[in-house]
Amino acid sequence: MKCGPGTSISSCCFSWPRVWLPSTKRSLPGLRRPKTKSSGAFALLAGGWAARAPGHQHPAHNSSTEKGQKELVQGSELLSRVTEGGDVNSEGGLYVCMNTFLAFGREHVERHFRKTGQSVYMHLKRHMREVRAASAGALPKRRNSKLFLDLDMDDDLNSDDYEYEDEAKLVIFPDHYEIALPNIEELPALVTIACDAVLSSKSPYRKQDPDTWENELPVSKYANNLAQLDNGVRVPPSGWKCARCDLRENLWLNLTDGSVLCGKWFFDSAGGNGHALEHFRDMGYPLAVKLGTITPDGADVYSFQEEGPVLDPHLAKHLAHFGIDMLHANGTENGLRDNDIKPRVSEWEVIQESGTKLKPMYGPGYTGLKNLGNSCYLSSVMQAIFSIPEFQRAYVGNLPRIFDYSPLDPTQDFNTQMTKLGHGLLSGQYSKPPVKSELIEQVMKEEHKPQQNGISPRMFKAFVSKSHPEFSSNRQQDAQEFFLHLVNLVERNRIGSENPSDVFRFLVEERIQCCQTRKVRYTERVDYLMQLPVAMEAATNKDELIAYELMRREAEANRRPLPELVRAKIPFSACLQAFAEPDNVEDFWSSALQAKSAGVKTSRFASFPEYLVVQIKKFTFGLDWVPRKFDVSIDMPDLLDISHLRARGLQPGEEELPDISPPIVIPDDSKDRLMNQLIDPSDIDESSVMQLAEMGFPLEACRKAVYFTGNTGAEVAFNWIIVHMEEPDFAEPLAIPGYGGAGASVFGATGLDNQPPEEIVAIITSMGFQRNQAVQALRATNHNLERALDWIFSHPEFEEDSDFVIEMENNANANIMSEAKPEGPRVKDGSGMYELFAFISHMGTSTMCGHYVCHIKKEGRWVIYNDHKVCASERPPKDLGYMYFYRRIPS
């Protein structure tokens, strides 16, 4: 995230994990007072560092000094996380607290100083200047041979037109007394070692995700003087195959003789017989480019001699030798691998509006998100989420209070991370158009390419995906699954009584009928999106599809280029009709027959949400269990009316099924545990919950299933769900007597309507704290005792908010008094008329690969959000979307 006056992301420190140096948990020992006239700075310096930690001797007399130095260096190796994604190029630079090693922008470092009393910070700043007479092909110039941190640099810093130098210094607050670094004379050895270790540390993100750091590729030593044979070879734009084995994937063009040969299995995770490598061993031609990756921005180049991916600064010239115009090449951006499966008018080109000159958008709400390597699913969902006013108000609107009352480690606080990201997207501070002089200069150079850097969601992604086996990986994921995962986190970490995810919540009425007795049962469950099936049988262009399939098979058999794609055209009305039709219930147990029988289920809306999210069920599994995707075009309406899907309840003449539950079968090794005790709600196995939620079951029901089966695993919990899914309270929140009072939700208890457990309040008050102080601390930390104590110590100004706390407790007590009758899930029911305002599109063959793009309608026009690029949309592909966001039209 970028930080600094005018360009500072709110509370930038919250982007960085908290890292402790083993020897400096309280202070850095042995710092001498510098010779200066500022007595105020002396006192702060002494208070910040000179005081020795308990048990420490002065380094000059400490026999373990060498060990302490080693610990400092080892601990500092983690500090690159502090500034990962930070922008030291901004006017104010970046401030790193030398006690907690959290990073701040200029406008937020004062808040941290006032809140914690930490007075010593390292100020990091990069100065950049333009070089007028840069020679062609020159590498970036460094006026400082040593970079102080392993930073993610802007693209401009890698061009030939800039040089830069770095500056680091210690700053003592509040007088802003500065000590330039390095400063061996004024700083003791341990402090110097710690500072050097911070400045020279390597980013752990580069170690974990090396494939995502393209700027690390070296320039090949063979690029400048590469020999190219004048043999008349011209490479066609498609239809490639290996010259030795006829393979049509993972193909590499040798840049010396124009040979097209297959790669090897171990490189680039693609199949091949290694003929490109064999050719190098035979002929010695060092460089090859992967076909299908060539775009105007570059391509994948491999050096056999240097045994790794490289950069070729003369790639356009080398490709032109074989008839390839790089400036007009359409590669397989974002991971598409096979050249022949990509037709001339593919969904990649249509969804990303390729070939159209798109106008970049700048200002509040037009900030992009950098792709961290298959993170486009997260970026697309977050852009849509923060276009909703309720989420804007809940997080960005409450920014001062959320930051002021964040825990000591705000990097592990969901609300803080959401607020930080929302402010970055909505403030406009990171989406500013180039000044007029820069535009004129770019036009004069004939290289007008407006730069949009976007912000990096690296810390946000790390937090929301931790402990999740899929989202914590660097693989592509399903945007729909991430949306539900995010809703779950919002539910569990709601701010006071405000829960922005209420706008998505709605009740589904399910009517199950026993086919043999014709008796029925009506139940309700909570859901957050509408899953719409693809009615392939209703395609309006069946004849064209049959003809295309015949031509495609013929082209593959004769190794000719594939015909232009014909996409199935599905009427939206047919998909809506398929949603409304009855489904067979597998393994249905009829309470009327006391046995298994055939049953059918129909679903209707018991309430309509304020914002309706519609998912097109494009992904399925073939008979061989290989995931595949329906490549279809659906005429999604701008105005949607689903009023006819309103639930009607039990109808006259219908007879209900008896309210009898089948016996539940539990493994023998789990019976004793279940009979003896139930688990604490806070100990619910979240991984099992997520496995069940990803199957499409309501989140509340998944938590109840895991709880009542004693954390014995997802399989046993699944059996519980099957048995209890027809019960009226199946999807209601888990209510456990003694945990927050009647009606307490398993989603957490941070709201005004949830009283903390009295036994935990008593523990805190026994330590000498006030009751209202304990109550507010527990509410702010989800009733976690350890975090609540941390919160109390980090909020010494608590007395100022005593009236607010009393009001909170009065409201809570009033709510408890009114809870004699438990209420159901909160829904915002209304009319069934909606208007489309956003949609997320997927490109690729399955959710495990490809790319996501988001389109949002703002200020009357559509805008495309493609990672860091934000542009006015010319042809929004509303018929190719995957998830659609509708807002209710007021009646």
Peptide bond before residue 652 is cis, with ω within 30 degrees of 0? no
Residue with tokens 């190219």, as numbered in its chain: 228
- Collapse the DSSP code of 146 into the 3-class scheme (helix H, G, I; strand E, B; otherwise coil) and give the result: coil
Q: What are phi and psi of 595, to 5 degrees?
A: -160, 170
Catalytic residue among 485, 851, 855, 868: 851
Structural contact between residues 382 and 420, judged by C-beta atoms closer than 8 angstroms: no
**Which secondary structure element, helix H or strand E, spans residue 602, and what is its range?**
strand 599-605
Distance CA 468, CA 378 (A): 14
Distance CA 236, CA 195 (A): 56
In Å, what is the CA distance from 429 to each residue of 107, 123, 224, 259, 296? 13, 21, 41, 49, 29
Q: What are phi and psi of 193, to 5 degrees?
A: -65, -45
Structure tokens at 587: 């393994």
Structure tokens at 791: 């919160």
Distance CA 40, CA 172 (A): 10
Annotate 18-85 with three-state secondary structure.
CCCCHHHCCCCCCCCCCCCCCHHHHHHHHHHHHCCCCCCCCHHHCCCHHHHHHHHHHHHCCCHHHHCC
Q: How many CB atoms lie within 10 A of CB 286?
A: 21
Instruction: Mark whether 515 is an active-site residue.
Output: no
Structure tokens at 662: 């089948």
- Helix 65-76, helix 189-200: angle, nearest 10: 20
Which DSSP string do the residues of 642-702 spell out, in sequence order? -GGGB---SPTT--BPP--PPPPP--HHHHHHHHH-PPPGGG--HHHHHHHHTTT--HHHH
Which residue type sits at 760? I
- Collapse the DSSP code of 717 into the 3-class scheme (helix H, G, I; strand E, B; otherwise coil) and give the result: helix
Burial class (CB in 10 A: 0-12, 13-18, 19+), 609: buried
CA torsion through residues 735, 739, 744, 747, sign: negative
Distance CA 727, CA 742 (A): 20
Residues with Cβ within 8 Å of 669's Cβ and at least 6 positions away in sequence, in order, are none
φ/ψ region of 313 (left if φ > 0, alpha if ψ in -120 to 50, else beta) reads alpha
DSSP state at residue 580: H
Structural contact between residues 80 and 197, judged by C-beta atoms closer than 8 angstroms: no
Instruction: Mark whether 376 is an active-site residue.
Output: yes
Catalytic residue among 376, 575, 702, 871: 376
Structure tokens at 228: 């190219």
Query: Which residue stretches of 558-664 are H helix?
Result: 572-580
Q: Please calculate the CA angle 430-435-436 and round it to the nearest 5 degrees.
A: 155
- Using CA atoms in the order 481, 486, 487, 491, what is the torsion angle rounded to 10 degrees? 140
Structure tokens at 331: 């590669």
Which of 595-601's residues contact partners 24+ apart within 8 Å by CB, and which partners? 597/514, 597/515, 597/516, 597/517, 598/514, 598/515, 598/516, 599/512, 599/513, 599/514, 599/515, 600/512, 600/513, 600/515, 601/510, 601/511, 601/512, 601/513
Structure tokens at 165: 């130098």
Distance CA 121, CA 170 (A): 6
Distance CA 117, CA 96 (A): 14
Catalytically annotated residues:
376, 851
